[in-house]
Every structure is written in C-alpha cells, then in structure tokens.
Amino acid sequence: MKPASQRALVWVLSIAAVLAPAAGLAYLGAVSYRDDRGAVAARLDEQHARAQSVARRVEQRVRDAVDAVAAAVTSDDLDAALGELQAIDPLAAEPFVLTADGAILWPPPAALGDAPAGIDLRPPPCPVRGLEGCLRQLRGEERRVRQLDDARRAELAACPDGRCPAGDALDTARRLYEQLARFDDTGIAALLGLTRLARGSGDRAGAIRRLDTLVERFGDRSDRGLPVTLIAELARAELDPAPGPLLDLYAALLARRIAAPADALAAVVERIRAALGRRELTATDAARKAELDAALAVARAREAAAAAALADDAVEIAREAGEALRGRTALREPRRTLAYRRAGDVVVGVVVDPARLQDAAGAEAAAGVAPGARVTILPVGTSPPDSLRTLASAPLGASMPHLILAIVHDRDLPDPLDDVIGSRSRRHLLLSGGLGVLLAIGLLATIRAAARERELARLQSHFVSTVSHELKTPLTSIRMFAEMLREGVAGGDVARQGRYHEIIVKESQRLGLLIANLLDYAQIERGTRRYSQRREPIGEVTAEAVDTFQRLQDPAAGNEVRLTVSAGSEMATSICDREVLVGAVLNLLSNAAKYGGAGRPIDVTVATRGGDVTVTVRDHGPGIPPAEQSRIFREFYRAPAAYTSGAPGTGLGLALVKRHVEAQGGVVAVASEEGRGAAFTIALPLAQGATP
C-alpha cells in the first residue's frame, strides 16, 4: 500500500475510532431505559407463562386422578381397584364415589376397622350346562364339602392346641386334605389345611412348599373375600418366628401397597395385631408396633371422617356433577377441595388439599423462575405470608376457579427482577467501558496521526531545504568548473583540464543519483514504479555496485571496500531488478562511507542463509543507537547524529532501499552496537534451482 494511502487509511480509522464509540455511547444512553423496561416486562411475562404452565399441569394431574377413579368404578372389585389407586397416586389418596342421588358408595365407613365376616367370591355353584350335569356337580361338591368337614374334624382332633403330634388323626386329616387339594372348589381350603398341619408338625419347609403351590394354582382367586396372595403372605409371616415379617406386612397394609377390599384388609390387620400380641417383642419391635397402631388409629379416624365430611356435600355434588371436571370447597373443611365429575350412573371424585396440589406441581416447577422459588396453592382473594414474595400467579384452571397457583420465594432472597436489571447494568457497563476504551484508543490514534503528520510535514520541509542544498552543491561545482574551462583558467594544462572534466562528470553523476532517488520516491508514492525482474547472480550484481561506488567516491575519502563472496555463494541467483539492486547496494555503501568516516574500510559480504541469499554492508563507524534503528527506514527521517555531524543527505536513501528490496520479495535488516559500527543486510529469496 502506498504511504499516502496508508496515511489516508490511518486518518479514516482514527476518525472512525472516535465517531463509532461516541455514536455507540449515545445509542446506549438512548435505548438503555427502554431496554431495561423491555427486559423486566419480558421476565414478568416469562414468570407468568411458567405459572400458567404449572397450573395447567396441576389441573391435568387432578383430572387424571378423577379419571383413574372412574376407571376403578368399572372394575369387578371396586375396593381392590381403589385401594391400589390410593397406593400409587397421591392425588387419589382420598377418592370418593357417589350414587346419582348423593349416597356415598366410597369411602366405606368401616375401612380398616372391624370388618364383616367377609364376601364369598367363589364361582357359581353350577357352571356346567344341563340339569343332569349340574346335579352331578352339586352332588360332588356336597360330597367334597362333607369330606372337608371330616378333614377339619380330624385336624381338630390331631391338633387340639395348634401342635400336631404324629398319630392316626393326623394321618387321616392329611390324607383327606391331599385328596381334596386336587379339586378347584376345595383346593384352597385343602392346601391351607395342609399348611396348618405342616406348621403344627414343625415342618416349616413343607408349610412354605404348600403355600407356594397355593399361590401357583389359585393366585388369582379369593377365599371368603381375602385374596389368596394376601392369605399366603400372612401365612408366611406367621411361620417366621421373628416378628419382622408380620410388622412389614402390617406396614404394607396401612400404606395400601396391597390391593384388597377394605373389609378384607381390616380382617388381616386384626389377625396380625392378634399374632403380634401373642409374641414377645424386643423394644425396637414394640416401638414399631406402637407406631403402626397409632397410624392405624389415624387412618381409621381419617377415613371415617372423610366419609362423614362428604355427607354435607354429597347431595349438592350429585346435583351439580356433569361430564366435565368441576371443583368446589368442602363445606366442613374449607381448605380442602372436592374435584368430581359424572361417570355413567355414579359421580366420582377426589379430595385434595393445598399440600397435595403443591406436590403435584413438582419440586422443579419453579426452579427456572428464581433460585429458592416454590409453588403454593391459595384460595382466590388471599395472599401468601408477608415473609414471601409473589413472583407470578395464575388461576388453577376452569375446573377449580376458587384456587390460584402462586410462585413465591423468601423476601430475604434477591428479587429476580433486580437480577435482570443488575445483569443488564453490568452489560451496559461493560459495553460502555469497551466503547470508552475504543474512544480513548481513537483519540490516541488521532493524536498520534496528527503528531505524525506534523512530524512528516516538518521532515518534508527539512527535506526540501536539504534537497535544495544537495542539488545546489553539485550544480554549483559543475557550473564553476565549466566556466573555468570556458575562461581558460587551466591555461592549456591538460592534466588540470582533465581534473576539471572529472569533477564535472562526478558531480553530474552525483546529481543524477540524487534526481533518480527523487524520481523513484515520486513513482513509489504514486504507485507507478515498475520493476524488470529476472534471474540475476547476486555476487556479480554486488561486485558491479562496489565497482561503481569506487569509481564515484572522492579519492580523498580513501574508504577501501572489501568484497567477500562466501564459499558456495558464487552461483547464487535471485529473481530481481538488477538496476534497483545495484542502486540499493550503492545507497548502503554511500551511507557506510558517509557515517563510517574517511579512510575506514567497508566490508561487503555475499552469502547464503537458508533459502535466502544475503548482501551485508558493514562499516566501522560510531554505530546506531537501538532507539533509532526502527526509525531510520522512514521517509525523510535522519538521526540526530546525522544532523550534528553535518553529513549530507536527504533522508530518502534507506527508505528507498527498504521499499525496493521488499518489492523484490526480500527484507532489509540492521544490526548495530554503539561504538562498533553498523551492518545492513539485504536478504533475497534464492531462485528455484539456485545453489543454496
């Protein structure tokens, strides 16, 4: 890029570096208030959208729970289906089923309490077709019932106190039970009888084997209202001498982890409590039993209360219920909500409270709103405690319009809106700081550019005066000696005339070199300088420059030039402009003679280094200070020592050398120490195929 273009680019960039940050600061100031308001509004919208999303999720969870109750109503075993649902869905922990006129079908008031004798769920007595087949089956069943009674009497005779010593009665009971175990109608009772006999005889492994057979054959059946699997679990727990299995089964029944009718569960619970009462319990087991007994009392009271609480709302719920989900506040307990809908001929629903609804929202529901945020359910028209800050709220759906869902967090925690404003303030501060730095850099660049332009103007002014002097000196010498020849001052002395002619020729050549430098500089500035590059032997080109210098230099100076071409570099060539390279070496030789001092030798070395061929011109002068070494290649620049020494020069020589050499693809470097001379090196790339 041309120096003029470089200076223009520096000015443009400097102005841009000032104007762009200034415009940026003005823009930030104009839009920061609007942006802050927009960011706050966006954050509020985001929080409100999150609250609406969580509210829809909770409403859907309630709808799913009511639908699950409706599905349980269609089950063959309503008690078992609802018991299983209570165990797996927290929102369905308190389901209810009403008739069309408001009578309560569920929850049963005796759940887990004293149960009736049980429900016989055995298949119909006559599943075969035809009267004769039915009569045969009935006679067979009657015969097996009589045999089962005989087996039970034999069992009572063999095991009067639960222990079964060997004897005829035991053998009779075992034989009868084994015969009856093959039939479906008596198989359950017979296998249970065999289990009792094995336990009474001390055969625990045999008893467990009989229970496994019972579950394998009749696991999907019930006996007098009790699921066979539950009967087997109870029997296994009773076989274990430790109370742990009985306590585990007690806990599972209280937690509704085993699906069974309420009266059946109540019967098993009482059986377990009686069995535990007959055993010696450790302090740990006794404490656990006490906890389970307390939980049983609470469950009985709660379920009885639930049925009683529904009594006030049942008729109104049955009248209002439709196909769509609805919700209302319980009359007896206003904090509880009844969610219900019609399902065929009945009304199904669930009783929920704020804690269950909050659990249904999920712990992570408010995590994205703010750290420490959580969900709370409130009646419409109420507010959370003063210690909590409401971040967003939304109605809990059309089915429960009396409730709202609020996302809150402690007032001790930072307000998320402050976080938004703070983060934007930090961003504005960073942007403003960055723009301020750019503005400072722009101002500094402008000041430096102005200083450089001022210095350049000063150097150009000095250059004009120097060039005028440099042009005037050879012209004066040429004119003076030409006039002396014309006036015949030599007086016919051939030697004197020759000396006059030689002076005129040398001053003309000196003037020509000066003018050539000026023309070169002008062409480089305009970008019109053209080079004629071809493969040239660098040693030969350097020798030509040395020869020219020796012919042009003043004999009085007496600077001996010692040219050395290193071994292997004699045939080194490079693609370059011969005249330009000769001129560059001449410039370096002229400077070496000028600043190295009269009579001091100048060393010129041609060598190869890596992929380059180098020409080094070394003088033995005072050297160049390190601070000046990066400046001497600038246009019009002359070191202060050059001015004080009175050495002639324009400040263009080294600048032209650098430009010309770089145009040939090479580089120019200087190495110098004060008091030990200076070495200027021109490095050009070796031509392909040249000797390295």
What's the pLDDT tens digit per position in 166-189?
A: 888 888 888 888 888 888 888 888
The 10s digit of each residue's pLDDT in 616-647 is: 999 888 888 887 877 777 776 666 665 555 55
Q: Residue 668 and residue 581: Cα distance in Å, rounded?
A: 12
Q: What is the pLDDT of residue 614?
A: 93
For 576, the enclosing helix (H) or strand (E) is strand 573-576
Task: Describe the chain by its helix, strand, coil percentages, rounded to 5.
Answer: 60, 15, 30
Give φ, ψ of 161 to 5 degrees.
-120, 20
Domain 531-685 has CATH 3.40.50.12710: no
Q: What is the pLDDT of residue 616?
A: 94
Could you tell me if 574 and 535 are in contact, meaning their C-beta atoms sit under 8 angstroms apart?
yes
Average pLDDT over residues 202-221: 87
CA 328 and chain centroid, separation: 45
Number of neighbouring beta carbons within 10 Å of residue 149: 11
Q: Residue 671 and residue 447: Cα distance in Å, rounded?
A: 31
Q: Residue 211 and residue 658: Cα distance in Å, rounded?
A: 106
On the question of pLDDT at 11 being above 50, the answer is: yes
Does the predicted model carry a pTM greater than 0.85? no
What is the residue whose two structure tokens read 């087991």? 285
On the question of pLDDT at 675 being above 60, the answer is: yes
Average pLDDT over residues 39-43: 72
Question: 681 pairs with which residues across the strands?
Answer: 616, 669
Structure tokens at 111: 């759940």
Number of neighbouring beta carbons within 10 Å of residue 561: 18
Q: What is the pLDDT of residue 341?
A: 93
Q: Residue 513 and residue 669: Cα distance in Å, rounded?
A: 23
Please report, for the chain, the start and end positions of each structural domain, with discontinuous segments joined by +: 114-298, 531-685
Cβ contacts of residue 71 below 8 Å, gap of 6+?
Answer: 81
Cis ω before 107 (30° cut-off from 0): yes
Is the dihedral angle over the CA atoms 368, 374, 377, 383 positive or is it negative? negative
Name the band, by pLDDT with cuts 50, 70 and 90, for residue 120.
very low
Number of neighbouring beta carbons within 10 Å of residue 582: 19
Q: Which of 390-404, 412-426, 482-496 has the lowest mean pLDDT?
A: 412-426
Provide the 3-class DSSP secondary structure of residue 106.
strand
